[in-house]
Amino acid sequence: MDSLASKMSDQIDSLRDRLAEIACEIWDYAEAGGEEFKSSALLMDEFSKRGFAVERGLTGKSPDSGEECDMPTAFRAAFGNGGNPRVGVMLEYDALPNGHSCGHNLIAAAGLGAALALGTALEELPGEVVAIGTPAEEGGAPGKVEILHAGHFDGLDAVMMAHPSDRWNAESRFLSIVHPKNGGIIYRGRAAHASSEPERGRSALDAVLLFCNGVEFFREHVKDGSRMHYSIVNGGDAPNIVPDFAKVNIFVRSEDTNELNYMKKRVTDIASAAALMADVSCELEWDFPWYSPVKVPSFYSLARKSAESAGVGAGNFIDYDSFGSTDAGNVGLMFPLVHLDFKIAPLGTNWHSKESAEASRSQEGIEGMITAAKTIALTLYSLMTQPDLMRRIKDEFAARRRTFGSETYV
Ligand SMILES: [Zn+2]
């Protein structure tokens, strides 16, 4: 570690109490996606106080309709001379209905600590650090996709964030995901007495059942690692009424973006074929997908090395064999991204649970957050001070992106 890197690491240590306080305060607020008013204000105030130029509230843009939307709990805090290299740090701070059971309060504190430390280094270096406050990762309101499409990430060379977990991992593996808008596929038929005049009815539930069967047959013919899961949201009101309304929701996922687009087309066909068989109408409009990020192995190994120099033992890095999805993936399709997982709880801890919520306010949680902040700062600092390394990572990203199915990304 050179002297500036040690200075950043020491600064994060000196910020420990303040970062812990902020993490706990956001945990206590436990605000839902899009409603993180107190949490985002706390972070924006802290950035302002420490000399960052803060844009309070951002205007997002819908990627499919192009419509603008207000995102009062999103923000952009920048420090530096405005030129390149320019690195980004993402912060999340939304809670789930059962509180901060995904630990996004720690994502915010780690991102804050890392950005402040990079700001200190930038007093002596050319370049800029941009911290982007991204609301509603858990859904329910516009998030990173709208921020991305409005251009708030433009000009960044590389982006990082750190998410709490039961392990350390820098591989940033996520599945692309797409699902219908409006909470599902809607079928509309015709109600009738199910016993006295069934021939006059057209069952919307029949279409739902045919759809689910169609998906089951299709399941055999998708690539390994793809997923489809559905739930019947509305299956009619009573057995003696032929249901004139039924609704089924489905999530379609794949690590391969081309495969995701193919699956989306087949599931659309299955949905309309089910409507044809049941002689009912079908309403299906797809939401904009969350994509899996482009893989950048050199960036991942740099992050891992930085974590090791921040004190993480190599044995703490453990691979995953199961994956979720995140809107950070869309950022990782446009910019080299590390979505670092940092350990705050014993291996095997259930996530989105009472245990993970407690871990997000625990001593181990705070320690993990501090180490994660150092890891982000050291990784991005290496890129900013080693142009060859930055070039290698950007070239690797560009080469892999070309073969990633991303030509279909709009
Ligand atoms: Zn999460």
pLDDT string in tens for the chain (410-residue length): 799 999 999 999 999 999 999 999 999 999 999 999 999 999 999 999 999 999 999 999 999 889 999 999 999 999 998 889 999 999 999 999 999 999 999 999 999 999 999 999 999 999 999 999 999 999 878 999 999 999 999 999 999 999 999 999 999 889 999 999 999 999 999 999 999 999 999 999 999 999 999 999 999 999 988 999 999 999 999 999 999 999 999 999 998 888 999 999 999 999 999 999 999 999 999 999 999 999 999 999 999 999 999 999 978 999 887 788 999 999 999 999 999 999 999 999 999 999 999 999 999 999 999 999 999 999 999 999 999 999 999 999 999 887 765 444 43
What confidence score (pLDDT) does residue 407 get?
47
Q: Does the global pTM surpass 0.85?
A: yes
What confidence score (pLDDT) does residue 405 get?
55
User: What is the whole-number distance in angstroms between the Cα of residue 354 and the centre of ligand 1?
Assistant: 14
User: What is the whole-number distance in angstroms between the Cα of residue 108 and the centre of ligand 1?
Assistant: 11
375-85-40-4 Cα dihedral, nearest 10 degrees: 40
* Residues 209, 247 contacting (CB under 8 angstroms): no
* Residues 106, 360 contacting (CB under 8 angstroms): yes
User: What is the whole-number distance in angstroms between the Cα of residue 338 and the centre of ligand 1?
Assistant: 15
User: What is the whole-number distance in angstroms between the Cα of residue 189 and the centre of ligand 1?
Assistant: 39
Instruction: Let me know whether 153 and 186 are in one domain.
Output: no
User: What is the whole-number distance in angstroms between the Cα of residue 104 and the centre of ligand 1?
Assistant: 6
The counts of H helices and E strands in the chain are 12, 11
* Residues 342, 162 contacting (CB under 8 angstroms): yes
What confidence score (pLDDT) does residue 172 get?
87
Phi, psi dihedrals of residue 78, rounded to the nearest 5°: -120, 150
User: What is the whole-number distance in angstroms between the Cα of residue 136 and the centre of ligand 1?
Assistant: 10
Residues 226 and 262: their CA atoms lie apart, in Å, by 11
User: What is the whole-number distance in angstroms between the Cα of residue 29 and the centre of ligand 1?
Assistant: 16
Instruction: Let me know whether 360 and 401 are in one domain.
Output: yes
Instruction: Let me know whether 61 and 181 are in one domain.
Output: no
User: What is the whole-number distance in angstroms between the Cα of residue 325 and the centre of ligand 1?
Assistant: 9
Antiparallel, parallel or unpaired: β 128-133 and 68-80:
antiparallel
| 69 Cβ contact list (under 8 Å, min separation 6) | 59, 60, 61, 62, 142, 146
Instruction: Let me know whether 345 and 365 are in one domain.
Output: yes
User: What is the whole-number distance in angstroms between the Cα of residue 163 and the centre of ligand 1?
Assistant: 7
* Residues 34, 73 contacting (CB under 8 angstroms): yes
Q: Is omega for the bond preceding 346 within 30 degrees of 0, making it cis?
A: no
User: What is the whole-number distance in angstroms between the Cα of residue 391 and the centre of ligand 1?
Assistant: 30
Count how many domains the chain has.
2
Residue 332 CA neighbour count, 13 Å, CB half = 30
Instruction: Let me know whether 19 and 143 are in one domain.
Output: yes
Q: Which of 257, 283, 309 finishes a domain?
A: 283
User: What is the whole-number distance in angstroms between the Cα of residue 164 and the centre of ligand 1?
Assistant: 8
Indicate which CATH number applies to the domain containing 225: 3.30.70.360
Instruction: Let me know whether 191 and 213 are in one domain.
Output: yes
Instruction: Let me know whether 22 and 154 are in one domain.
Output: yes
Instruction: Let me know whether 127 and 276 are in one domain.
Output: no
Q: Which residues pair with 186 in a beta bridge?
A: 247, 283
With 0-12 / 13-18 / 19 or more C-beta atoms within 10 angstroms meaning exposed / middle / buried, residue 221 is exposed
User: What is the whole-number distance in angstroms between the Cα of residue 92 and the centre of ligand 1?
Assistant: 8
Q: Which of 283, 312, 328 finishes a domain?
A: 283
User: What is the whole-number distance in angstroms between the Cα of residue 95 and the centre of ligand 1?
Assistant: 9
Instruction: Let me know whether 301 and 324 are in one domain.
Output: yes
* Residues 90, 83 contacting (CB under 8 angstroms): no
User: What is the whole-number distance in angstroms between the Cα of residue 182 and the centre of ligand 1?
Assistant: 23
DSSP 268-304: HHHHHHHHHHHT-EEE--BPPPBPPPPP-HHHHHHHH
Q: Which of 101, 169, 93, 95 is nearest to 131 (CA)?
A: 93
User: What is the whole-number distance in angstroms between the Cα of residue 133 and the centre of ligand 1?
Assistant: 14
Indicate which CATH number applies to the domain containing 54: 3.40.630.10
What confidence score (pLDDT) does residue 408 get?
47
Q: Which of 262, 283, 304 finishes a domain?
A: 283
- Tokens 């699902």 sit at which residue? 179
Instruction: Let me know whether 91 and 114 are in one domain.
Output: yes
Domain span including residue 167: 3-174+292-408
Instruction: Let me know whether 96 and 12 are in one domain.
Output: yes
User: What is the whole-number distance in angstroms between the Cα of residue 396 and the centre of ligand 1?
Assistant: 27
Residues 167 and 315: their CA atoms lie apart, in Å, by 10
End-to-end CA distance of the chain: 41
Instruction: Let me know whether 191 and 50 are in one domain.
Output: no
